[in-house]
Amino acid sequence: MTTTRRQALIATASLAIGAVLPFRAGAFVFPPEVLQDKYPADPSFDAAVSLSDLEAIAHRRLDAMSEAYIDGAAGDEITLRWNREAYDKIKILPRVLHDVSVVDTRTTVLGIPLDFPILLGPTALHKLAHPDGELATARAAASAHALMGLSTMSSTTLEDVAAASNSPKWFQLYVQKDKGFTAELVQRAVKSGYKALVVTVDTPTEGARNRQQRAGFHLPPGVDLANLRGLKTASGRAPGTEREVFENILPDKLTWKEIEWLQSLSSLPVLLKGILNPEDAALAVKQGVAGVIVSNHGARNLDTVPATIEALPRITDRVAGRITVLVDGGVRRGTDVLKALARGANAVLVGRPIFYGLSAAGEAGVVKMLGILRKEFEMAMALSGRTRISEIVPEVIWKE
Ligand code: FNR
Ligand code: LAC
């Protein structure tokens, strides 16, 4: 059997992680058929040791429009800055002289056992960063033993992504204007084995994404909204420009009534993504959804909303363990994961880092990104004197 460069890269990325982490048993799964290497890994990929190293590679490799779309946020990008600064300001208060020779990062989210509490967040159009797009991400999720969220706006169909790997997956739903089409999307997700519906509730309209607008965002040749093929648009053709793309994913109206309707469409657990207000979290509990994702959409929608790590404790207080609470936005270090869990999150999701990994080395890049974050999280647990997820309590954080 010959080993392609892609397999070698993934094996290297996996071994680099495996060498230092006491991974649980379970071999890395290589898909039977191997995609061609259309986009070789960056020469400095092997030397990358942090997510910011992968980000630097992505900045060199992404075309200007894709970079503006991926990295850009809303308005003056103040919340984008806050999402990071808020993590940086939180201090960790370690315990010493605890036996940390075995650190166990395992947890369970909505009944799904996870080796570590870091998920791949649902993000649109992975083909902008690598020609293998979401197939590479799905395979990376399986290799790294991670849960993947797939966007309604993926550039690969949800069926093909489901078939690409056996890792657990959630489907992120943008409720369409066309209710029938929305119900069909849900049925397709059920049929393909997705384990939850993540309903994005923070995007009733597009944000003022100036960076993206200045770059003239459009769908390049070969990239389309694969799940939405066949959807009738106002112009009668497939959406291509920024306005057409976003107009088509946005609902006319999304209220608690529609959430109830979505809950009735299948037996999949429903998570609401984009909760910042504790009042909405309380209504979510009342509505009987399975969980909420504390998110400001990576600061891409409404500028000057608070950083998610700042909003999180008010929501976990209000929810009081009744439903699952996840958080995303600005997670770039293992210490960030520790802080989010100390503030009551059950797990975190990452968005932009997926694109950094994809751009640097496709599937191997996403495997490496997850491996770095996982390893850093494990180090943060050991160095703060915590050996199990249940030991990551509010006291891990320094009180001023
Ligand atoms: C997103 N996000 C997103 N969210 C969603 O519900 N559906 C989607 O299709 C997308 N698409 C998308 C594309 C890109 C390029 C980015 C950067 C983000 C938001 C995403 O799920 C998540 O909330 C943020 O990305 C988290 O912040 P970080 O990790 O990027 O800082
Ligand atoms: C975005 C949309 C697709 O953030 O969620 O670009």
- Reduced to 3 states (helix: H, G, I; strand: E, B; else coil), residue 146 is coil
Q: At what angle do helices 352-383 and 51-61 cross, to 10 degrees?
A: 170
Beta strands in the chain, from DSSP E residues, in sequence order: 107-109, 112-114, 118-120, 148-150, 169-173, 197-200, 270-275, 291-294, 324-328, 347-350
**Cα 33 from Cα 132, distance rounded (Å):** 13
pLDDT at 11: 54
Strand partners, 131: none
Ligand nearest to the CA of 201: 1
Write the residue with the smallest CA distance to atom 11 of ligand 1: 123
Quick check: is 297 catalytic? yes
Write the residue with the smallest CA distance to atom 3 of ligand 2: 124
Q: For residue 47, count CB atoms less than 10 angstroms from its CB and return exposed for 0-12, middle for 13-18, buried for 19 or more.
A: exposed
Which residues are within 8 A (CB) of 328 and not within 5 positions of it... i.e. 6 or more apart?
121, 293, 294, 295, 298, 308, 348, 349, 350, 351
- Reduced to 3 states (helix: H, G, I; strand: E, B; else coil), residue 226 is helix
Q: Is the pLDDT of residue 167 over 90?
A: yes
Q: For 29-80, how does the pLDDT look when each residue is reduced to its tens digit (9 = 90+)?
A: 333 344 445 689 999 999 999 999 999 999 999 999 999 999 999 999 999 9
Q: For residue 386, count CB atoms less than 10 angstroms from its CB and return exposed for 0-12, middle for 13-18, buried for 19 or more.
A: buried
Residue found by looking up tokens 């009534």 in the block: 257
- Taken in order 174, 179, 182, 186, the sign of the CA dihedral is positive
Q: For 278-323, how does the pLDDT look when each residue is reduced to its tens digit (9 = 90+)?
A: 999 999 999 999 999 999 999 999 999 999 999 999 999 999 999 9
Share of the chain above pLDDT 70, in %: 90
Share of the chain above pLDDT 90, in %: 83
User: Of 214-223, 323-332, 339-348, which gets the smallest average pLDDT?
Assistant: 214-223
Domains of the chain: 76-203+253-396 (3.20.20.70)
Q: For residue 262, count CB atoms less than 10 angstroms from its CB and return exposed for 0-12, middle for 13-18, buried for 19 or more.
A: buried
Closest ligand 2 atom to Cα of 301: 4
Q: Is the pLDDT of residue 209 over 90?
A: yes
Judge if the beta carbon of residue 228 lies within 6 A of ligand 2: no
Judge if the beta carbon of residue 295 lies within 6 A of ligand 1: yes
Band (pLDDT 50/70/90 cuts) for residue 8 is low
Strand partners, 44: none
pTM above 0.85, yes or no: yes
**Cα 375 from Cα 332, distance rounded (Å):** 12
Residue found by looking up tokens 């979505």 in the block: 262
